Amino acid sequence: MPTIQANNLPPHGDQETPLPVLNRRGFLKHGSRALGASLATLVLCDLADLMQFAQAAGLTPQSGESVLGGYDWTKHRYVYLIDLRKCIGCGACVRACAKENNVPRNYFRTWVERYEVSRTGEEVVDSTNGGMDGFAPHVSGNDVTKAFFFPKLCCHCTYTPCVQLCPVGASYRTLEGVVLVDEKRCIGCGYCVQACPYGSRFIHPVTHTASKCSLCYHRLTRGLTTACVQACPVKARMLGDTIKVGDEVAEIIATQSVRTLQPELLTDPNCFYLGLSKEAR
């Protein structure tokens, strides 16, 4: 294998090439080139890589975020709220999610279930195509006394079984409380899929890595809301920020009777529901 001479070493024996003497203008010129190259390298990194780079380099989150256009992940703590009293089961949220995140056919990052409860307590639950196309009326033959639509997604838990069981650290939780998957690191073992008690993960049929709701993190870092929240025609879905003073969702969670899915699991979900019925599971 040929030896390549390093640019900063003497080319022949002990002979040394004198370094150029730079005046102030030359220093600024060369310095700006070096800075530009460094920034270009950072811009080419994805968000997960940038976070790892900042931590490894000992940078504060603010100094790393300057590359992201000023987004400061220490100033946000996201929560998600679904008002089941408003949901009409139209499927607009599921379609928006699929389009925004290029979700493969027959897989869902968010989906909607329809519950029908009879007078005797019998439950019928269906979710044809994840509720993407809405729900056609049908006759169940039961004496139905209660019916509602139940949207689901990743609960972005504070204490996440999926993160704890990932053997390679591909699943992680950001400073804002969003649970994400690093597809470059994921080996597709499926442990996190089995660990999630809410059924919100799947193995992508093309990438063969774990996939789930990312809370549209690529939109959040640009100051946008999630695709599903934006698409909901009746505002049944809402995204909040508990650090933001006067945030509407944070106020609802603090002052109204909200519930989480399966609180007995002690995962401390950050997806809350208004009007959650005891039959919902």
Over residues 225-280, the pLDDT tens digits come to 999 999 999 999 999 999 999 999 999 999 999 999 999 999 999 999 999 888 77
Looking at the domain assignment, is residue 206 inside a domain? yes
Residue 175: is its pLDDT beyond 70? yes
Looking at the domain assignment, is residue 82 inside a domain? no
Using 50, 70 and 90 to split pLDDT, how confident is the model at 119?
confident
Looking at the domain assignment, is residue 131 inside a domain? no
Q: Which residue has the tokens 């996939």?
A: 211
Using 50, 70 and 90 to split pLDDT, how confident is the model at 16?
very low
C-alpha to C-alpha distance for 277 and 44, rounded to whole angstroms: 46
Which domain-ending residue is among 64, 92, 111? 64
What is the model's pLDDT at position 32? 41
Residue 56: is its pLDDT beyond 80? no
Alpha-carbon dihedral of residues 109, 238, 177, 188, nearest 10 degrees? 0
Looking at the domain assignment, is residue 239 inside a domain? no
Instruction: Give, in degrees to the nearest 5, the angle at Cα 217 between 239 and 191.
Output: 105
The residue range of the domain holding 190 is 161-211
What is the model's pLDDT at position 69? 58
The pLDDT mean for the chain works out to 81
The model's pTM: 0.73
Q: How many domains does the chain have?
A: 2
What is the model's pLDDT at position 60? 36
Residue 145: is its pLDDT beyond 60? yes
Looking at the domain assignment, is residue 225 inside a domain? no
C-alpha to C-alpha distance for 82 and 95, rounded to whole angstroms: 17
Looking at the domain assignment, is residue 180 inside a domain? yes
Return the higher-pLDDT residue of 38 and 160: 160
Q: What is the CATH number of the domain that holds 194?
A: 3.30.70.20
Looking at the domain assignment, is residue 268 inside a domain? no
Return the higher-pLDDT residue of 16 and 148: 148
The region of weakest confidence among 1-5, 22-26, 68-72, 97-101 is 1-5
